[in-house]
Chains A and B, each alone.
Chain A
Amino acid sequence: MLSRVADSLYWMSRYFERADNTARAIEATHGLMLSRGEVAHDQRWYRALTNFGLPSDARDQDPQVAIGRLAADQENRSSIVSCITSARDNASQVRDEISSEMWEQLNRIYHEIASSEVDPQDAAAVMRLVSQVREGSYCFYGATETTMSHAEGWRFVQLGKFTERACAISLLLDAYFPATGKMDDLDWVTLLASGAAFESYCRAFTADLQPNRIATFLLVHPQFPYSVRYAVDRMQASLGAIIENSSAPKRVRIERIIGRLQASLAFTPMSELMAGDLHAFLNGVLEQCGALHRAVHEAYIDYPVEVAFER
């Protein structure tokens, strides 16, 4: 497969997943910010800002407007609208490598949300946009799973999606932990909902919301699709298929990083993590995801010509 094509597939998928994750977090946060509870409004808002990676000067903004911008602002590179646009731009470069169904779904979401300019102040319109993206993502992921051959290109699609997801959930957990200050059940519901985890969590642990269990669930649950460990396992499966045919020096580096990351999620006792430095651990996950991204890029996408001739 052409390196350029693999790169476009990877980024199409990453941007799409980013839009989807942001949409889910906005939906959850929006509900939280409307509720009045014992917990200070400001504290919740700062946490949301951290999770969304917004600069601290956004603190002075009205939360609803800031959230609206995060959804609909075409100037903001990380807004949902921008991410969907970038996903579609990448897909249009490789129109022939993805299935028509995938293209149709992506195109439909794009036209629904990018063509109508949503006013960030209009909370109802913003929430409509968010739910369009969420529903569209089920269709797009369904089409990807069922209509695209699970060959090399699909592996890059999977790699992009799960790399983005592992990072997003790590950032989400980092915003909520360590659980200092006042937090009530509403906060924990928001965290679970941001990770699409509320129902699954309740099924596993009942509606008894315990911070340690929530962290465990989102970080290391082996079967839950939005846990960091699950995402990393999927990354490993995709990378395994991608590196199958590559030369030894290339694969050793990638295998080492992913193997170590996978092992740390599978074998570090949760009690140790919760008692110790969870922040450092999550940072480590993000760093290793970054290192993997670079290693894959150097090995398969933009490798130096001289290296290609050494064998």
Chain B
Amino acid sequence: MDVATLDPFAGYAPVADGYDEMLDDRAQPRKAYRRLHRELLKLAPEEMSRSKQKADLFFFNQGITFTVYGRSEGAERIFPHDLLPRIISAADWETIERGLTQRVVALNLFLKDLYHEQRIIRDRVVPGDVIYTCRHYRRQMVDVKVPRDAYVNVMGTDLVRLPDGQFVVLEDNLRVPSGVSYMLSSRKVMKQIFPALFRRYGVRPIEQYSQALLSTLGSLAPGGTTDPTTVLLTPGVYNSAYYEHAFLARQMGIELVEGRDLVIHDNVVYMRTTKGLQRIDVIYRRVDDDFLDPLAFRGDSALGSPGLFSAYRAGNVTLANALGTGVADDKAIYAFVPHIIRYYLDQDPILQNVETLLMSDATARAHVIGRLGEFVVKAVGESGGYGMLIGPHSSREQREAMRERILADPRNYIAQPVLNLSTAPCFIDGAIQPRHVDLRPYVLFGEKTTIVPGGLTRVALRKGSLVVNSSQGGGSKDTWVLQA
């Protein structure tokens, strides 16, 4: 039989001018990928398909699903998973780790300053009007002291790799970042499917994430509490990330509570158990600020617990993440993060930002609005790929609608150049093909900063697509960070 026809990489053609994670400019496998490349050459295509079925079955049986909003009934779907790991060299990871640590420290200093002295506004590094117009700025948090001055305790930062091989920050997720259960589940699947390859590769472990999260949360307990009671607060079974909430609560061995389980008495938070009311010290909340307490925030919310914010203010319970962190992941504030890092740490940013134009700036607006086809436009307070326009892939009607929205509310939009995200090999329709990927590592910040080596690699499964969000046809793959 002709060997060439069996080459699984025969049709593998990376996008021109982009960075391919596996192949270098001369179409040779990069060092980190060499072993995988070699092993895949030895594998029969049927074997790959069998492995793929095995992995899909695992995800199906585990009920690893997410809910898509914006369609009538909020359909529940199995999270698409790609068979091939995304591999990151020890050197690349070292840079990412240092860069993210620097970023989470600076953002926490920024939040503390913002809700107390506001030096950064007085020193005219970030304009006050940009901050006060943030949808997620919380006046109620002014002068509230949070344990260890740690506001962002779980950060999920989206990184992308540019054609020159450099990782840059696409956006920060500082409110209730999700996806970590996919990271942990897909590692479990990969160990079952590629045990030999896994062992030979020297992949750094990530399974300690749940313990690290629990001890980070514990380190934030109100002063003087030894052996704190920690719970995970979920909006309930109808939330798109409920699977993850239940998963993490189980992994950490803590109660999964809903707002209706909480009782607040004399500014102390309890949960209603069969053995009576049990005091709660730390709440890992996966409920947005707006819905936490109908007395302090949205009065129509049935998800929260009346009086929770008052107990929080009194320092009797810790909420992680703290309230009001969303101001720092507003996409307009994002543009200032390099300045924020320099201002508080007197260091140059290790991870760069993507060039970002604020539509509230008249010059920038005039420049972008005539060339919408060349930009990606995003609504500042949105996440999950909602409310976004990808210029080159948009229709005239979509661009026209976006132009009107920008002119009606310029503060609500930013524009970025269309990025040529790196591609990684994926097993799709029986062949190995390049697809665009990003990377979301999870950063824990409490007594210390912990970043498990890896993260969620998201894949745009549609050919040519640049959108990796699960709600928009994206999938995930396991991320292997190699030992030095």
Which of A's residues lie within 8 Å of B, judged by CB?
1-4, 6, 92-93, 95-96, 152, 242, 245-247, 300-301, 303, 305, 308-309
Which B residue's beta carbon lies closest to that of A3? B272
Q: B274 and A152: CB pair below 8 A? A: yes
Q: B246 and A96: CB pair below 8 A? A: yes
Q: A246 and B275: CB pair below 8 A? A: yes
Query: Residue B265 contacts which of A93, A242, A309 (CB distance < 8 angstroms)?
Result: A309
Q: B237 and A92: CB pair below 8 A? A: yes
Total inter-chain residue pairs, C-beta < 8 Å: 47
Task: Tell me which of B25-33, B82-90, B255-263, B458-466 binds A.
Answer: B255-263
Cβ contacts under 8 Å, B246 to chain A? 95-96
- Assuming A95-B237, A96-B249, is B275 touching A305 (CB within 8 A)? no
Cβ contacts under 8 Å, B5 to chain A? none
Q: Once bound together, how far apart are the Cα atoms of A305 and B257, in whole Å?
A: 18
Query: Residue B274 contacts which of A92, A95, A242, A309 (CB distance < 8 angstroms)?
Result: A242
Q: B256 and A96: CB pair below 8 A? A: yes
Query: Residue B237 contacts which of A3, A93, A300 (CB distance < 8 angstroms)?
Result: A93
Q: A96 and B250: CB pair below 8 A? A: yes
Q: Once bound together, how far apart are the Cα atoms of A152 and B274, in whole Å?
A: 9
Q: Once bound together, how far apart are the Cα atoms of A1 and B276, in whole Å?
A: 10
Q: A6 and B237: CB pair below 8 A? A: no
Cβ contacts under 8 Å, A6 to chain B? 274
When each residue 256-295 of chain B gets 1 if its CB lies under 8 Å from chain A and 0 otherwise, what string results?
1110110101000011111111000000000000000000
Q: How many residues of B contact A (CB 8 A)?
A: 20
Query: Residue B258 contacts which of A1, A4, A92 (CB distance < 8 angstroms)?
Result: A4
- Assuming A2-B255, A92-B237, is B275 touching A245 (CB within 8 A)? yes
Cβ contacts under 8 Å, A242 to chain B? 274
- Assuming A95-B237, A96-B250, A242-B274, is B263 touching A4 (CB within 8 A)? no
Q: A3 and B250: CB pair below 8 A? A: no
Cβ contacts under 8 Å, A92 to chain B? 237
Pairs A–B under 8 Å by Cβ, sample size 24: A1-B274, A2-B261, A2-B271, A3-B272, A3-B273, A3-B274, A4-B258, A6-B274, A92-B237, A95-B237, A96-B246, A152-B274, A245-B275, A246-B276, A247-B276, A301-B274, A303-B272, A303-B276, A305-B277, A308-B263, A308-B270, A308-B276, A309-B265, A309-B277
Q: Once bound together, how far apart are the Cα atoms of A171 and B331, in whole Å?
A: 65
In the assembled complex, the CB of A23 is this many whole angstroms from the nearest CB of chain B, namely: 27
Q: Once bound together, how far apart are the Cα atoms of A301 and B260, in whole Å?
A: 12
Q: Once bound together, how far apart are the Cα atoms of A151 and B249, in whole Å?
A: 19
Q: A2 and B277: CB pair below 8 A? A: no
Q: A305 and B263: CB pair below 8 A? A: yes
- Assuming A95-B246, A96-B246, is B265 touching A1 (CB within 8 A)? no
- Assuming A2-B257, A93-B237, A96-B250, is B274 touching A300 (CB within 8 A)? yes
Which B residue's beta carbon lies closest to that of A243? B274
- Counting from the closest, the 9 A-B pairs by CB-CB distance are A300-B274, A3-B272, A308-B277, A96-B246, A1-B274, A6-B274, A2-B261, A4-B261, A308-B276
Q: Once bound together, how far apart are the Cα atoms of A247 and B265, in whole Å?
A: 20
* B246, B258, B274: residue with the most chain A Cβ atoms closer than 10 Å: B274
In the assembled complex, the CB of B237 is this many whole angstroms from the nearest CB of chain A, namely: 6
In the assembled complex, the CB of B284 is this many whole angstroms from the nearest CB of chain A, namely: 16
In the assembled complex, the CB of A296 is this many whole angstroms from the nearest CB of chain B, namely: 10
Q: Once bound together, how far apart are the Cα atoms of A96 and B272, in whole Å?
A: 18
Q: B237 and A2: CB pair below 8 A? A: no
When each residue 233-249 of chain B gets 1 if its CB lies under 8 Å from chain A and 0 otherwise, what string results?
00001000000001001
* B249, B256, B260: residue with the most chain A Cβ atoms closer than 10 Å: B256
Q: Once bound together, how far apart are the Cα atoms of A246 and B276, in whole Å?
A: 8
Additional A-B contact list (15), CB under 8 Å, known A2-B257, A2-B261, A247-B276? A1-B275, A2-B273, A3-B272, A3-B274, A4-B261, A92-B237, A93-B237, A96-B250, A152-B274, A245-B275, A303-B276, A305-B265, A308-B263, A308-B276, A309-B265
Which B residue's beta carbon lies closest to that of A97? B256
Q: Once bound together, how far apart are the Cα atoms of A6 and B258, in whole Å?
A: 14
Cβ contacts under 8 Å, B270 to chain A? 308
Which A residue's beta carbon lies closest to that of B246? A96
In the assembled complex, the CB of A213 is this many whole angstroms from the nearest CB of chain B, namely: 41
Q: Once bound together, how far apart are the Cα atoms of A1 and B257, in whole Å?
A: 11
Cβ contacts under 8 Å, A308 to chain B? 263, 270, 276-277
* B270, B271, B276: residue with the most chain A Cβ atoms closer than 10 Å: B276
Cβ contacts under 8 Å, B258 to chain A? 4
Which B residue's beta carbon lies closest to that of A246? B275
Cβ contacts under 8 Å, A301 to chain B? 274
Cβ contacts under 8 Å, B272 to chain A? 2-4, 303
Which A residue's beta carbon lies closest to that of B231? A2
Which A residue's beta carbon lies closest to that of B238? A92
